[in-house]
Amino acid sequence: MSNFYVFHGIDHKVGVTMVAQSIAEIIASYKKGMNVLFLALNGRLNAEYVKEEVHSIDDFKVELDSKIFTVTDFMRKCRQKDNFYMMAGVANEEEERLYFPSVVEYLLGELKDKFDVIIADTGSTLDNGLALGALLMADCNYLITTQQESALTRLEKQRDIFDKSDISFDAVVVNKFYEKDPHSLGYIRSRMGLDKERISKISMADYERQAEMNHCTLMEFNNSDYEKDILNVANEILLDIGGEGIRKRSRGLRWKSFI
């Protein structure tokens, strides 16, 4: 069953958590018949955009290590609202190296049949087993970058590391996109040699700091360009799993927070 989609940032602060969680939220909000799971599979907690208490992977470590993990207990603890579920990453960053790729393999083996869509945020480094395991096991890997020169340069330098780690990306998302920036989608595609990979954008949105302070995603601030671009990536995923896309509304999406 192909339903595991991983989002990885080329550098810190490119917005991988915001993008990945926004996509998971919009799918869960408009597809009530689907169970959607958002996972933070990296060495950080990554729960800054949710108001309610979130269980972290640390809460399940004993069960995962002992292979006595129970899906019913997981779903009860990680349910945020209705059909949206979330598990945060490592609460104690000093213990990130206690997690190995095999943990992700076991976890997904238990969860994949219980959820229609699983979206994971793997942060921006490969120095922990959770991120590495997720990227190697994904049905589709999305690489998040921005138009900043520092991000594009890091992407060029990281290619050898990705190749040596046997990690490939099916799509590239340019986040915080600004139309007047000379680093256009065409320029980035050409410079990065993106032949087969899909490339899309997420428009620059205001209120990033406010969203963090309010513990919510940018979906709550009714930015039509941001919502439209998030919807486009969400529809890619829905069509990929054989579902129907979310239909656009002529007057724009009417987003209501549900977590």
Question: Pairing mode, if any, of strands 171-177 and 198-203?
Answer: parallel
Radius of gyration of the chain (CA): 17
Q: Would you say residue 57 lies in a domain?
A: yes
Q: Would you say residue 49 lies in a domain?
A: yes
Q: Would you say residue 245 lies in a domain?
A: no
Percentage with pLDDT > 70 across the chain: 95
**Cβ–Cβ under 8 Å, residues 27 and 117:** yes
pLDDT band of 16, cuts 50, 70, 90: very high
Confidence (pLDDT) at 250: 45
Q: Would you say residue 248 lies in a domain?
A: no
Tokens of 4: 């595991």
**Angle at alpha carbon of residue 111, lines to 211 and 167, rounded to 5°:** 75
Confidence (pLDDT) at 255: 55
Q: Would you say residue 89 lies in a domain?
A: yes
- Average pLDDT score over residue span 112-131: 96
- Average pLDDT score over residue span 43-70: 95
**Nearest-angstrom CA–CA distance, 190 and 47:** 35
Q: Would you say residue 253 lies in a domain?
A: no
Specify the number of domains making up the chain: 1
**Nearest-angstrom CA–CA distance, 74 and 138:** 21
pLDDT band of 242, cuts 50, 70, 90: very high
Q: Would you say residue 197 lies in a domain?
A: yes
Distance of CA 46 to the CA centre of its chain: 11
DSSP letter at 207?
Answer: -
Q: How many CA atoms lie within 13 A of 189 on its CB side?
A: 11
DSSP letter at 22?
Answer: H
Q: Which residues pair with 140 in a beta bridge?
A: 5
162-201 pLDDT, tens digit each: 999 999 999 999 999 999 999 999 999 999 999 889 999 9
List the CATH number of the domain containing 41: 3.40.50.300
Confidence (pLDDT) at 66: 96
pLDDT band of 251, cuts 50, 70, 90: very low
Give the range of the structural domain holding residue 219, as residue numbers without chain letter: 4-240
Q: Which residues are CB-contacts of 31 (< 8 A; sequence separation ≥ 6)?
A: 83, 116, 238, 243, 246
Strand order of the sheet with strand 117-121? Answer: 79-81, 84-87, 36-40, 117-121, 4-9, 140-145, 171-177, 198-203
Q: Would you say residue 181 lies in a domain?
A: yes
User: Is the pLDDT reported for residue 23 higher than 90?
Assistant: yes
Percentage with pLDDT > 90 across the chain: 90
Question: Pairing mode, if any, of strands 79-81 and 84-87?
Answer: antiparallel
**Nearest-angstrom CA–CA distance, 235 and 248:** 10
> Which whole-number Å values give the CA distances from 48 to 7, 16, 75, 226, in the listed order?
17, 12, 21, 19
Q: Which residues pair with 119 in a beta bridge?
A: 5, 38
Q: Which residues pair with 35 in a beta bridge?
A: none
pLDDT band of 254, cuts 50, 70, 90: low
Distance of CA 158 to the CA centre of its chain: 19
**Nearest-angstrom CA–CA distance, 42 and 62:** 18
